Structure 1
Amino acid sequence: MTTISGCLAESTTTPPVVKGAYYPSWSTSFPPSAINTSLFTHIFYAFLAPNNVTFKFEISNSTAAVLVNFTTTLRHGSPPAKTLFSIGGGGADSEALARMASSPSSRGVFIDSAIDVARMFGFDGVDLDWEFPESPKDMENLGRLLKEWRQAIGKESKYTHRPPLLLTAAVYFSVDFFLSPVPRSFPVASLRKNLDWINAMCYDFHGAWSNITGPNAALFDPNSNINSIYGLSSWINAGMPPKKVVMGLPLYGRTWHLKDPKVNGIGSIAVGPGPGDGVLTYSQIVKLNKEENGTVVYDADTVSVYSVVGSSWIGYDDPLTTTTKVGYAQALGLRGYFFWALSFDKNSDISSHASRSWILDKSE
């Protein structure tokens, strides 16, 4: 093990548009060399996590080799793509991140170590994917963490005469957790001042945790506020500049096992998860629909697609719904979009449609 510690950080300059994607580190069948960098501006390596006691990043020799290959490959892409490593993720220890953020000393250790990792392995920045701060106090500490991180980035850049590292964060689709029994909101003032942008995770709106079918990533929803437009608007209304908001798009779908295959619209009763234990990648969905002659339905109210394959119900996005969402992101004046996750696409089908549909304005 090599223990990484010690530096400082800020970030000001980024490309006008973000066409991003998270790259799962477990994508062994999809190496960095397979990434079509003409479709993306930023690729996020997912994930790294600090030691849950020391809060330093401990990088093994094997992981070090993977990180060097990742950044080197994308730096020499045609065109090159910027790289960030993402900390945390949905499966990370949220309580450990909360402990880290709770005191100045542990925040300092974490920040310095993260900057060291970025510089040592050639990343252009760092992304924090803390899912999710669970109390108002955690949110306050997140604000403090980002302030100190930004200051450290600035100091490190000035000291080393290198461009400042990018600093971003993956966040809940809405600025506040209005569905939670613990009311809390993100510290928008700190995020606005200290981050280059936020990646709003506009997906996982419905899933087999509820036995009622629904779109994974509805753009609209006539029946609730669980939709992307509501979430993105809540961030903007809370003071987050649109040019610091990046819209999340899924390259996977959520599945259910229907109670009655004849009752199969949005809002139908299910009895549990469907194929893939409730989750299928877009590539798997296309394959299943083709092999099993699935019925594919476009839902205009939510700008989503679902397919019915026997007693299985799958809610997902396709090239049409994705390009419609990209259009709305531009209409809202957002910075761009990102995908979770890069290796889930089918032959870059959705990624290429999204990239082409972002129409550059004169300032770009």
Structure 2
Amino acid sequence: MASKTLHIFFSLLLIQNHVSAGQDAVRSAYWFPGSGIEAKAIDSTLFTHLFCAFADLDASTNQVIDSPANSGPFSQFTQIVQLNNPNVKTLLSIGGGKANNADYASMASQESSRKSFIDSSISLARKYGFHGLDLDWEYPETAAQTANLKLLFNEWRAAVAADAQATGKPALLLTAAVFYKPKVNGVDYDIDSIANGLDWINLMAYEFYDPTRSSVTKSHAALYDPAGDDHISCDDGVADWIKAGLSQKKLVLGLPYFGFAWRLQDANNHGLEAPASGAVGADKGVMRFDEIKAVLNSATDVYDETIVTNYCYSGTTWIGYDGAGTISTKASYAKQKGLLGYFAWHVAQDDDDWTLSKEAQKAWGA
């Protein structure tokens, strides 16, 4: 028993050294079955890492599982995307959305249930040939939940180290998709457990606003907020994470490949902060970039370089989104700030020419 413990201890030290040494640049995106394109259609040469989403949590066993509908696409994902880019790394993302917060909170609250989650996640990743695991828990709601999340990250890292020691395979990458600021729902993420337990975090720096939460038009993912009192922007989020003590080399900036369509109250008042009366269309007015691009043929398009955003308008329809210029500026910003990289949500929302992904890659200098 003592010998086994020492092996795990030294393995953990090696993995922690690997984590502290950092990764190469991350140029990544999420994909999921049913997103609109098959895995084989992804131009994987544009990315260093691809996230396959989402594995589920079985609340009765606290094990990570893939649904019967996803088992086929998940099992083939790594092999398929590596056909065009043998160097691309894949990660299995777990969770997604806000529907199962209670299940994740319950799982993280006990050592035994955390172990079930961790062991099953590693087993599933190894079974399907993934290079890492990603947790998308949106979001912890209490101080107790963030304390349990800290334990989960620490125990996950130790288990990954032990797995690498036992199998002789490279250690699985560990990442998490998190709120764009280090405080969410009034509670703080634990910085040390992120720094020591995770290879990086994906900042969901978008959906700051939508037509159901604001009576005026807004950029939902502005890079800057120079005149705002609330400091709601990508740059504010990055600055807060660094101020909280996390290295910029642990930060990966989120790039939204989607926008929101608002209903203007007056077609002649069509700038930012224009009065609006809800969403155009269903699902809060969400529109994919490829859909927005089609609208641009009959709309007036504007690039606001002050806050870095795009919007277009036609009649009483107003759409805020990230176009090619915005994506390019954000990717350049991430590199200039010394961040580890960027990720896109989600890859299938790009157009057929991969305009946004190519702009991001070009801006990064890859």
Q: What TM-score do you get using the length of structure 1 for normalisation?
A: 0.91
Structure-2 separation of matches of 1:119 and 1:218: 38
Partner of 2:223: 219
Q: CA deviation at 1:309?
A: 1.7
Q: Where do residues 72-87 of structure 1 align in structure 2 (5 Å cutoff)?
A: 72-87=79-94
Does the CA contact (< 8 Å) of 2:260 and 2:286 recur in 1? Answer: yes
Amino acid corresponding to residue 306 of structure 1 in structure 2: Y
Q: Which consecutive segments of 4 or more residues in structure 1 shift more than 4 A? A: 8-11
Q: Could you tell me which residue of structure 1 aligns to residue 26 of structure 2?
A: 18
Which residue pairs with 1:319 in the alignment? 324
CA contact (8 A) 2:98 2:139 kept: no
Question: For the Cα contact (< 8 Å) 1:275–1:312, is it kept in 2?
Answer: no
What's the counterpart of residue 205 of structure 1? 208
Q: Which SS does the other structure have where 1:50 is aligned?
A: strand
2:198 aligned partner:
195
- Is 1:343 matched with 2:351? no
Structure 1 runs not aligned, ≥5 long: 1-7
Residue in 1 aligned with 2:363? 357
| Higher helix content, 1 or 2 | 2
Q: How does 1:101-140 map to 2 (within 5 A)?
A: 101-140=108-147
Could you say which residue in structure 2 is the equivalent of 1:49? 56
Q: Report the residue type matching 1:68 in the other structure.
A: S
In 1, distance between residues paired with 2:282 and 2:296? 14
Deviations 1:192-251 (A, max 9, x none): 110000000110011012222100210001213110000011111111111111000000
- Per-residue CA shift, 1:35-69, capped at 9, x if unaligned? 11111000001111110121113335553221122
Question: Aligned partners of 2:65 and 2:131: how far apart in 1?
Answer: 19
The alpha-carbon distance between structure 1 residues 201 and 59, as it changes in their structure 2 partners (threshold 3 A), is closer
In the alignment, the residues of structure 2 paired with residue 264 and residue 84 of structure 1 have an alpha-carbon distance, to the nearest angstrom, of: 41
* Structure-to-structure mapping, 1:151-300, within 5 angstroms: 151-177=158-184, 180=185, 183-209=186-212, 210-221=214-225, 222-223=227-228, 224-277=230-283, 278-290=285-297, 293-300=298-305
Question: Do the aligned residues in 1 keep the contact of 2:178 with 2:204 (CA within 8 Å)?
Answer: yes
- Could you tell me how far 1:78 is from its partner in structure 2? 2.8
Q: Give, as a single letter, the amino acid of the residue that structure 2 aligns with 1:176.
A: K
Q: Secondary structure at the match of 1:49?
A: strand
Looking at structure 1, the residues matched to 158 and 236 of structure 2 have their Cα atoms a distance apart, in angstroms, of 32
Q: Which one-letter code corresponds to 1:248 in the other structure?
A: G
1:267-311 Cα shifts (integer Å, max 9, x gaps): 111111114541000000011121xx1111111221001011211
Matched position secondary structure for 2:140:
coil
| Structural RMSD (CA) | 1.7
Q: Which runs of 5+ in 2 are unaligned?
A: 1-10
Q: CA deviation at 1:152?
A: 0.3
Paired letter, 1:38:
T
- Residue 159 of structure 2 aligns to a residue whose secondary structure is helix
> CA–CA distance in 2 between the matches of 1:153 and 1:15?
17
Report the AA paired with residue 129 of structure 2: G
Matched residue count: 346
TM-score by length of 2: 0.91
CA distance in 2: counterparts of 1:355 and 1:276, whole angstroms: 32
Aligned-pair identity in percent equals 38
